[in-house]
């Protein structure tokens, strides 16, 4: 069969995740098409309520209340199941797979409860089931285990897998919000499940842990053999204890494997994590997963674990993989088309000029110990409109010199370079200034 040059995409559900997928697929369509060397046809979107107000505009000719119009459309090759739950979502997923289609899913409950049935349908009918978005939002953890870390056996996988729980615990701990208010906020931000008890009772994290355990060890963990605890009982006193004694209170999923003894354990529960552990610093909606592999050692991935945009990133990654498989492209990231698209992109890019590169700076100056020296220094900063944020002066009695350390507010490289040139000319500056940029991902 010749590979289709136009790939039809159907979306089931236009809620938090569905809208994120629509938004970013339409925004990136041209770029994706040139990378993949195919046309993308965003054909049909199924919703429950056609009249609902949404953040994205989908032409009414493309929306339907009948999800079968999406699944059964012969021109839809990739079906994105973003409805959730395990009833209609199961029926639609199996129907699409039995027609040999690709299903891209964010539905961890469905995969955890019906994984064997789903993969049986994949095997029998030659379709695909891709589920990157089902665990840890935008973090490509499934791909990491399946591909990048394939050389490893994992004795430990430990992670924060529920964004809602982490958001609640962070807001209670850092901002003294009540449990109820923090949960409400997580719901408003689109992090929580339609039924938020799945989040706060640990069931959503269990679904995700079970998927990771299956992926890493080939075994579905039965719920009855898994410790599943949520965060309902956590109160301010618990968070206070953690803070006082050097811990962070986190909701963890822990998958241990003893290769010698042959056992695996899966547990999800709130735990005290020592502050020195990287997971203790994963806050808000972020998720973090540490994998201890026998080859790579410990590797941690962190990033946004819930929300429309982060989850859309994972769904679109799967769509691209699916299209690569459908069209026979070996590696969508490095195909001839994608290299050509990058070259084209590169022609629109220039390197930034020095007056466009901005950051706060730190300086250490070794100065002659004499009245008026500091004023001379500050005059140079003020002449170039560089504002000083903090200053510390160190005196070195009887040495005839002092040290000044200071930080600036954000300033561009060109201005800072002028300040430094003038500082170097001063006889009162005794050594080459030590200059450090104060790094922040935002600047
Ligand atoms: P959501 O906001 O509740 O959206 C569900 C969508 O499904 C709605 O647009 C709804 O239509 C539609 N729908 C429900 N029943 C339908 C039916 N019978 N036919 C057609 N459409 C129907 O849920 P979500 O947060 O986007 O989650 C979707 C899935 O992604 C779930 O499996 C969830 O676990 C998973 N997930 C969510 C996140 C997240 O951060 N939210 C992250 C990762 C994975 P109406 O809008 O018309 O009511
Ligand atoms: N409700 C889930 C969470 C969505 O809060 O982590 C992401 O799977």
- Mean pLDDT, the chain, rounded, equals 93
* Residue 314 CA, ligand 2 centroid: distance in Å: 13
Tokens at 48, concatenated: 């429950």
Q: What is the pLDDT of residue 127?
A: 94
Query: Is the pLDDT higher at 122 or at 346?
Result: 122
CA 314 to ligand 1: nearest atom: 43
Domains 5-137+309-346 and 152-303 share a fold: no
pLDDT in tens, 313-345: 999 999 999 998 888 765 555 566 666 776 776
Tokens at 211, concatenated: 């998927």
- Contact in structure between 258 and 283 (CB atoms under 8 Å): no
CA distance 392 to 407: 9
Q: What is the pLDDT of residue 443?
A: 61
The pTM (predicted TM-score) of the whole model is 0.88
* Ligand 1 pocket at CB < 6 A: 12-18, 46-49, 52, 67, 82-84, 88, 106-107, 133, 137, 190-191, 193-194, 306-307, 311
Q: Which of 23, 52, 53, 208 is catalytic?
A: 208
CA distance 431 to 443: 29
Q: What is the pLDDT of residue 4?
A: 63
3-state secondary structure of 298: strand
Determine which helix (DSSP H) or strand (DSSP E) holds 12, and give its type and residue range. Answer: strand 6-12
Q: Which of 20-24, 261-265, 353-357 has the highest mean pLDDT?
A: 20-24
Test site for ligand 1: of 10, 12, 48, most ligand atoms within 8 A of the Cβ: 48
Average pLDDT over residues 266-282: 95
- Looking at 84-241, which runs of residues are DSSP E strands? 102-105, 128-130, 154-160, 227-228
Closest CA to 133 of 17, 15, 252, 14: 17
Determine which helix (DSSP H) or strand (DSSP E) holds 113, and give its type and residue range. Answer: helix 108-125
CA 194 to ligand 1: nearest atom: 3
Average pLDDT over residues 253-265: 92
Alpha helices in 245-395 (DSSP H): 308-327, 336-346, 373-383
Among this protein's residues, is 28 annotated catalytic? no
Q: Where are the domains of the chain?
A: 5-137+309-346, 152-303, 355-438
Q: CA dist 12 to 93, 136, 251, 355, 418, Å?
A: 10, 21, 31, 48, 58
- Phi-psi region for residue 293, left (φ > 0), alpha (ψ -120 to 50) or beta? beta
For the CA of 88, the nearest ligand: 1
Whether domain 152-303 has CATH 3.30.360.10: the reply is yes
pLDDT in tens, 401-429: 999 999 999 999 999 999 999 999 999 99
Tokens at 166, concatenated: 């982490």
Q: Max Cα separation, the chain?
A: 88
Closest CA to 82 of 285, 286, 312: 312
Tokens at 254, concatenated: 């822990």
Alpha helices in 347-408 (DSSP H): 373-383
CATH superfamily of 5-137+309-346: NAD(P)-binding Rossmann-like Domain (3.40.50.720)
Going by C-beta distance under 8 Å and a sequence separation of 6 or more, which residues neighbour residue 227? 266, 267, 268, 269
CATH class of 355-438: alpha beta
Q: What is the pLDDT of residue 395?
A: 85
CA 198 to ligand 2: nearest atom: 1
pLDDT in tens, 214-251: 999 999 999 999 999 999 999 988 998 999 999 999 99
Q: What is the pLDDT of residue 351?
A: 85
- Phi-psi region for residue 400, left (φ > 0), alpha (ψ -120 to 50) or beta? left
Closest CA to 278 of 291, 295, 266, 293: 291
Radius of gyration of the chain (CA): 27
């Amino acid at each position: 069969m010749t590979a289709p040059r136009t790939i039809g995409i159907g979306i089931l559900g236009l809620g938090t995740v569905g809208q994120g997928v629509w938004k970013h697929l339409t925004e990136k369509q041209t770029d994706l098409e040139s990378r993949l060397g195919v046309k993308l046809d965003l054909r049909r979107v199924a919703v429950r309520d056609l009249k609902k107000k949404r953040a994205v505009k989908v032409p009414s000719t493309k929306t339907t209340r009948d999800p079968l119009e999406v699944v059964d459309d012969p021109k839809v090759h990739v079906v994105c199941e973003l409805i959730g739950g395990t009833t209609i979502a199961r029926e639609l997923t199996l129907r699409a797979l039995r027609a040999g289609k690709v299903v891209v899913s964010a539905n961890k409950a469905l995969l955890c409860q019906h994984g064997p049935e789903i993969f049986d349908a994949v095997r029998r009918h030659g379709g695909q089931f891709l589920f990157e978005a089902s665990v840890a939002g935008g973090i490509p953890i499934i791909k990491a285990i399946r591909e990048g870390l394939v050389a490893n056996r994992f004795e430990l996988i430990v992670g924060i897998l529920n964004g809602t729980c982490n958001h609640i615990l962070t807001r209670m701990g850092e901002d003294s919000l009540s449990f109820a208010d923090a949960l409400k906020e997580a719901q408003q931000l689109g992090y929580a499940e339609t039924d938020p008890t799945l989040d706060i009772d640990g069931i959503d994290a269990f679904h995700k842990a079970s998927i990771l355990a299956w992926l890493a060890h080939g075994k579905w963990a039965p719920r009855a053999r898994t410790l599943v605890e949520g965060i309902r009982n956590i109160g301010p006193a618990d968070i206070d204890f953690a803070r006082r004694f050097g811990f962070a209170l986190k909701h963890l999923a822990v998958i241990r494997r003893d290769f010698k003894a042959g056992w695996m354990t899966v547990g999800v529960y709130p735990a005290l994590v020592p502050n020195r552990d990287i997971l203790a610093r994963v806050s808000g909606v972020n998720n973090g997963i540490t994998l201890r592999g026998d080859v790579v050692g410990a590797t941690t991935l962190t990033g946004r674990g819930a929300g429309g945009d982060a989850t859309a990133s994972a769904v679109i990654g799967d769509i691209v993989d699916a299209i690569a498989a459908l069209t026979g492209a070996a590696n969508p990231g490095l195909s001839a088309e994608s290299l050509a698209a990058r070259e084209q992109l590169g022609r629109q890019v220039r390197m930034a000029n020095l007056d466009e590169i901005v950051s706060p700076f730190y300086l250490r100056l070794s100065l002659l110990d004499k009245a008026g020296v500091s004023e001379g220094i500050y005059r140079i900063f003020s002449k170039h409109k560089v504002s000083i944020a903090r200053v510390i002066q160190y005196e070195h009695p009887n040495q005839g010199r002092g040290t000044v350390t200071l930080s600036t507010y954000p300033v561009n490289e060109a201005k800072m370079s002028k300040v430094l040139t003038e500082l170097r000319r001063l006889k009162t500056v005794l050594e080459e200034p030590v200059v450090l940029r104060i790094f922040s991902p935002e600047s």
